[in-house]
Structure 1
Amino acid sequence: MLKENRNTITILGEEIPLGASREINFNIAKLHTATKIEIPIIIERSKTPGPTILFSAGIHGDEINGVDIVRQLIARRINRPKRGTIICMPILNIFGFLSSKRAFPDGRDLNRVFPGSSNGSLASRVAHRLMHEIIPDVDLIIDFHTGGASRFNAAQIRIVRNQPELNDLARIFGAPFVLYSNHIGKSFRNACFQLGKPILLYEGGKSFFVDDNISKVGVEGVKRILAHYDMLHHRIKANPPKLPTVFIEESKWIRAKQSGMFKSIVKVNTKVKVDDVLGQITDPYGKVYHEVKTTLDGYVINVNEASLVYQGDALFHITKVVSD
């Protein structure tokens, strides 16, 4: 159960009462020119008490599809709650976003330094402030990610096993797939979980790319979560998902058996059977033609969209055992 009795919350040292709207700048560092680098945090509080939900994205600077989802929540005023509080952080890694890179300037992956340290690296210091000055007053986090470069993920929620509350929230969100995924050490998800903060991780699309459908699934999922907590404003409607969510118990990568020019002939969300042809690998000289086939029944939840691949490259992520 999420808390509902906070008349005042404190974000980065600033007390925010019920009914207030705030945009607070998270000052994370200065450039060599002494120019401040700040992350805007948009906070909307209803006059009626309720849960506090954080929507975050851009923990990796190249994952802009998640940034677009949180942007839409703000632009469409979905972040103005009927009750409770909504906090939006569209870009956690502003350095990577500006430079079109995944990591921080110190070379560290922000999502591998949590809970951070006040005396550590730049990335570690940002993680520490996030965990100590923002997360304490938050009841639920939904963090938006994408697939890696050229690897297009189907819209999916990632959670750990044996957590009934997360199972229920994932079903309410209504993404096409829920993938059980263990926590990674020093990740944001793991750090929040260790504090007893429920967190849903949304994956969809690929790096450096905004896909309208992936954004739509994310926005609609948020609306359903807000409606579940009676936080969605009455002028905004939450639509039920078109299909039931598939919970993925196990999955497997289909890898390239040889190097060459690669072309996929299936898309994410496709249901396949053993020996179905998924794509083809050829060479520039017309001498090689290799069909990539699935070795199991299931759904395609990730497709490598690279034109050139090497032997051993992951091409397709296929669910192995599913339960609706």
Structure 2
Amino acid sequence: MKVIQNKDDLKILGKIIKPGESKEVSFNLAKLHTRTPVDVPIIIERSKKPGPTILITAGIHGDEINGVEIVRQLIAKGINKPKTGTTICIPVLNIFGFINMKREFPDGRDLNRVFPGSKTGSLASRVAYTITTEILPHIDFVLDFHTGGAMRYNAPQVRISKGNADFNISAQIFGAPFVLYSDNIAKTFRNTCNKMGKPILLFEGGKSIHIDNNITNTGVNGAKRILHHLGMLRSNFKVSRPKERPIFIAESRWIRANFSGMFKASIQINGKVKKGQIIGNITDPYGKFNHFVKASYEGYIINVNESPIVYQGDALFHISTKLSD
């Protein structure tokens, strides 16, 4: 990975951070109707020794709490204080959504669908514009933490675009159980980072409005491995190897509900299933109906819908259909 050996002062949102300094910069998003300002804290830690600059973000969707908890732990434990280079942590990008436990901004827009943003656009678009113009130009590498939405529980996984050997190496170093090849979606944060030449790993794990210890531990350990690989992790932090080599998934599909009703999965996340295997059932409240959900193909279960009520067509299981070497 090619990195900038930054020895100079860093200027973020008009604030100067010198090598060796720690500083919290306030990103003023807007004001409430009461004229109360709403600020997003940006925690910046700089070593005196030159090195790469890594951006660690979470909460681009306000209800994705696992990611926020991962970045919180990195800060609380001092993992973000680098041996070399600079770390920039933004635990909650969408503070409005976080306060209200909602995915979107108050304007109803998804922050992760308006990048690179506009200086004169919607509120979400203006926030995206500031991140794109004020922060990303300084960055060498990005870790972006996400969580499954709408009661869908994601197995811990890293998502990258296919065909980039550096991404493959970084994903393997991170050490999540699964690496999912997925195309960049237009106007997402990941797509903008890639267009700007900023390597990014997107981590997905758990479900919204929930904190899961296994997910947060996977995220924290993955971040430590990346920092260690970049020469930024201080020696007082231990780095554990992943228990198993990550499984790279080239293709995957959703299994959807054929009926509406009460739903219960009977297969655990991360498990491998065979075609035709019963993996859940849909019933009615009256004891008259019981439909067994079967796997349409062999593969690994990387997402399970944990909602007790589903409608016909709802996504139930996300399953791998083709692995990559």
TM-score normalised to the size of structure 1?
A: 0.98
Matched, 1:220 2:221: yes
Determine the C-alpha separation between the residues in 1 that align with 2:253 and 2:120.
Answer: 40
Match of 1:126 in 2: 127
Structure 2's unaligned 5+ residue stretches are none
Match of 1:51 in 2: 52
Matched, 1:205 2:206: yes
Match of 1:112 in 2: 113
TM-fit CA distance, 1:163? 1.0
Match of 1:33 in 2: 34
Amino acid at match of 1:293: K
Would the aligned equivalents of 1:149 and 1:208 in 2 still touch at CA under 8 Å? no
Give CA deviations for 1:154-194 in whole Å, capped at 9, x if unaligned: 00001111111111100100100011111111111111111
Determine the C-alpha separation between the residues in 2 that align with 1:155 and 1:238.
Answer: 18
Match of 1:9 in 2: 10
Match of 1:273 in 2: 274
Q: Aligned runs of 1:167-206 on 2, under 5 Å?
A: 167-206=168-207
Determine the C-alpha separation between the residues in 2 that align with 1:4 and 1:201.
Answer: 24
SS of the equivalent of 2:56 reads strand
Match of 1:315 in 2: 316
Structure 1's unaligned 5+ residue stretches are none
TM-fit CA distance, 1:13? 1.8
Determine the C-alpha separation between the residues in 1 that align with 2:6 and 2:63.
Answer: 37
TM-fit CA distance, 1:6? 3.3
Q: Aligned runs of 1:245-264 on 2, under 5 Å?
A: 245-264=246-265
Determine the C-alpha separation between the residues in 2 that align with 1:245 and 1:6.
Answer: 35
Match of 2:61 in 1: 60
TM-fit CA distance, 1:10? 1.5
TM-fit CA distance, 1:276? 1.3
Amino acid at match of 2:164: Q
Q: CA RMSD in A?
A: 0.9
TM-fit CA distance, 1:266? 1.1
TM-fit CA distance, 1:7? 2.4
Would the aligned equivalents of 2:7 and 2:49 in 1 still touch at CA under 8 Å? no
Determine the C-alpha separation between the residues in 2 that align with 1:260 and 1:232.
Answer: 49
Give CA deviations for 1:257-286 in whole Å, capped at 9, x if unaligned: 111111111121001111111111111121
Would the aligned equivalents of 2:159 and 2:180 in 1 still touch at CA under 8 Å? yes
Q: Aligned runs of 1:290-305 on 2, under 5 Å?
A: 290-305=291-306
Determine the C-alpha separation between the residues in 1 that align with 2:146 and 2:123.
Answer: 21
Match of 2:22 in 1: 21
Determine the C-alpha separation between the residues in 2 that align with 1:6 and 1:267.
Answer: 48
SS of the equivalent of 1:162 reads coil
Determine the C-alpha separation between the residues in 2 that align with 1:271 and 1:228.
Answer: 31
TM-fit CA distance, 1:309? 0.9
Determine the C-alpha separation between the residues in 2 that align with 1:135 and 1:12.
Answer: 12
Determine the C-alpha separation between the residues in 2 that align with 1:33 and 1:309.
Answer: 40
Would the aligned equivalents of 2:6 and 2:85 in 1 still touch at CA under 8 Å? no
Give CA deviations for 1:4-26 in whole Å, capped at 9, x if unaligned: 13322211122211101000110
Would the aligned equivalents of 2:68 and 2:91 in 1 still touch at CA under 8 Å? yes
Amino acid at match of 1:89: I
Would the aligned equivalents of 1:13 and 1:133 in 2 still touch at CA under 8 Å? no
Amino acid at match of 2:46: R
Q: Aligned runs of 1:59-78 on 2, under 5 Å?
A: 59-78=60-79
Amino acid at match of 2:114: V
Match of 1:230 in 2: 231
Determine the C-alpha separation between the residues in 2 that align with 1:5 and 1:144.
Answer: 25
Determine the C-alpha separation between the residues in 2 that align with 1:311 and 1:32.
Answer: 41
Q: Alignment length, in residue pairs?
A: 324
% identity of equivalent residues: 60
SS of the equivalent of 1:248 reads strand
TM-fit CA distance, 1:144? 0.5
Determine the C-alpha separation between the residues in 2 that align with 1:268 and 1:6.
Answer: 45
